[in-house]
Amino acid sequence: MARICSYSTNEQCIRDITTLLLLQEKD
């Protein structure tokens, strides 16, 4: 994994992580 945000309050961060998770699930 590239970058994990410690500020889960940031929407951008949450979207980033969510996207990564979705991409991994799609595999």
> d(Cα 27, Cα 13) in Å, to the nearest integer?
22
Confidence of residue 27 (pLDDT cuts 50, 70, 90): low
> d(Cα 20, Cα 13) in Å, to the nearest integer?
11
- Residues 4-23 have pLDDT tens digits of 556 556 787 788 888 888 99
Q: Which residue has the tokens 């945000």?
A: 5
With 50 as the cut, is the pLDDT of residue 1 above it? no
